[in-house]
Amino acid sequence: MAVPPPADRADRLAALLAEERLDALVVTDLHDVRWLTGFTGSNGAAVVGADGTRRFLTDFRYLEQVRTQVPDPWERIDGGRDLGGAGVAANLPREAVRVGFDDADVTVAAHRRLRDAVRDGVELVPAPGLVRRLRQVKEPAERDAIRAACELASTAFVTVILEGPVVGRTERQVALDLVHEMQRLGASDASFPPIIAAGAHGALPHAEPRDVEIPVGALLTVDWGCVLDGYCSDCTRTVATGPLDADARRVYDVVLDAQLQALAAVRSGADVRAVDAVARDVIGDAGHREHFGHGLGHGVGLEVHEGPTLSPRGSGALRAGEIVTVEPGIYVPGRHGVRIEDLAAVTDDGPDVFTGTVTKELVEL
Ligand code: ZN
Ligand code: ZN
């Protein structure tokens, strides 16, 4: 069973509310709710007040579960049929005037129900991403959970891909095996549907596995991850299913060089655009700039895509405790694709790589 989250998470959120001049925040995103309260079910919301209010709302199905799962100081409340509307409105701090809500999560319909239910004088203020901002820097226990998810997924990769067989089976069969193996090892699920993409199909960064047999002598991109204790892993390796032509081999070497150099640039204080540029310049100097169309990486935690964003459109500097991917790629339309992705914690001394047990040297299956 998951360990209850430390109560200081809600206190840190309350401090953020003061900065934002909010009296209370309505938290509805289930990942945010889980991070704050420990609740793992499918229907829950939280109200956090600058005055110390800590209310957790769910429906009758979960009241027994949350008795142990959602610890004090949270009040555990049956929020009724309209949790995010009437339920939340009835449980705001008595004196609250400025009440924030996450407009990136609350639908227009839910917002209307909430607005209709709050007492006169309450001002609903869009306040997106406040909990997310706190979630971005991981606590040691969270880092351990993500590291464990990475190790489980790496073990499954060795069994299903490296030990195989892979050639002659379809991309879809291999994807299903990978998910099944991760679940067999204890993962609750894949963190996203795995990408298994051979040959020219690998030139699509988000390729869906096909009912097509994997051929000999191709590049095969495998991007996969699992969820363990609520936390995600994310990793990509590209392998060869037999001897490659010189061009494919060269593309692999360029991506690996870009990945190693960018990974080495990960440390607290590094500008996210500068880290992205390290990989982009290596790939550009090799004549493939237009073949690297996505950002270098993203944060990972309870969700497989979180902040920060390492890309030309990102902003700010990396902070110790953030967990980020470094995943440059080259995608040559009609020919092949290579992506190599590691997951690493940002430290003051550089990257603490969680996916290092799976080799990045080109493996020929
Ligand atoms: Zn990935
Ligand atoms: Zn990724």
pLDDT in tens, 81-113: 889 999 999 999 999 999 999 999 999 999 999
Q: Residue 200 corresponds to which tokens in the numbers above? A: 């020219």
What is the chain's mean pLDDT, rounded?
Answer: 96
DSSP state, residue 156? H
Cross-strand pairs, 222: 196, 237
In the chain, how long is the greatest CA-to-CA distance?
72
Pairing of the two strands 44-49 and 54-58? antiparallel
Give 257-263's long-range contacts (Cβ < 8 A, gap of 24+): 257/282, 258/282, 258/283, 258/328, 259/326, 259/327, 259/328, 259/340, 259/341, 259/342, 259/360, 260/360, 262/296, 262/326, 262/328, 263/326, 263/342, 263/344, 263/351, 263/353
- Whole-structure pTM value: 0.94
CA of 302 to the centre of ligand 2 (A): 14
- The Cα-based distances of 130 to 28, 105, 126, 301, 323 in angstroms read 12, 12, 11, 16, 18
Which ligand sits nearest to residue 311's alpha carbon? 2
Determine whether domain 8-135 maps to CATH 3.30.360.10: no
What is the average per-residue pLDDT within 174-185?
98
**With contact defined as beta carbons under 8 Å apart, do 328 and 294 qualify?**
no
pLDDT at 5: 85
Report how far ligand 1's centroid is from the alpha carbon of 22 (Å).
37
pLDDT of residue 6: 85
Calculated CA dihedral for residues 314, 318, 322, 325, nearest 10 degrees: 60
* Ligand number, closest to the Cα atom of 195: 1
Nearest 5°: the CA angle 91, 97, 98 is: 100
pLDDT at 134 over 70: yes
Average of per-residue pLDDT across 338-364: 97
Q: State the burial class of residue 296 (Cβ atoms within 10 Å of its Cβ: 0-12, 13-18, 19+).
A: buried
**With contact defined as beta carbons under 8 Å apart, do 174 and 197 qualify?**
no
- For residue range 300-345, what is the model confidence (pLDDT) as tens digits? 999 999 999 999 999 999 999 999 999 999 999 999 999 999 999 9
Could you tell me the distance, in angstroms and rounded to a whole number, from the CA of residue 337 to the centre of ligand 1?
A: 14
Q: What angle do CA 271, 323, 251 make, to 5 degrees?
A: 70
Read off the amino acid at residue 9. R
> Which ligand is the nearest neighbour of the Cα of 309?
2
pLDDT of residue 123: 96
Burial class (CB in 10 A: 0-12, 13-18, 19+), 235: buried
Of all residues in the chain, what percent carry a pLDDT higher than 70?
99
Q: Which CATH superfamily, name and number, covers 140-353?
A: Creatinase/methionine aminopeptidase superfamily (3.90.230.10)
pLDDT value of position 279: 98
Taking the C-alpha atoms of residue 64 and residue 44, their distance in angstroms, rounded to an integer, is 13
- Residue 205 banded pLDDT, cuts 50, 70, 90: confident
Instruction: Please report which confidence band the pLDDT of residue 274 belongs to, taking 50, 70 and 90 as the band edges.
Output: very high
Cis peptide before 308 (omega within 30 of 0): yes
20-46 core/surface letters (b: 16 or more CB in 10 A; e: else): eebbbbbbbbbbbbbbbbbbbbeebbb
CA of 287 to the centre of ligand 1 (A): 24
What is d(CA 261, CA 271) in angstroms, rounded to the nearest whole number? 15
| pLDDT surpasses 60 at 138 | yes
pLDDT score recorded for residue 2: 60
Q: How confident is the model at residue 1 (pLDDT cuts 50, 70, 90)?
A: very low
User: Token digits for 33?
Assistant: 């709710």
* Ligand 2 midpoint to CA 81 (Å): 37
Answer yes or no: are the C-beta atoms of 360 and 240 closer than 8 Å: no
pLDDT value of position 351: 98
Please tell me the number of the ligand nearest to residue 298's CA: 2
Ligand nearest to the CA of 235: 1
**Residue extents of the structural domains in the chain:** 8-135, 140-353
Segment 38-42 mean pLDDT:
94
Task: Point out which residues pair with 231 in neighbouring strands.
Answer: 228
Q: Is the per-residue pLDDT at 197 higher than 60?
A: yes
CA–centroid distance, residue 191 to ligand 1 (Å) = 9
DSSP string, 268-298: TT-BHHHHHHHHHHHHHHTT-GGG--S-SEE
The sign one gets for the Cα dihedral 199, 200, 204, 205 is positive
- Is the pLDDT score of 130 beyond 70? yes
3 pLDDT above the threshold of 80: no
The mean per-residue pLDDT over the stretch 65-73 comes to: 93
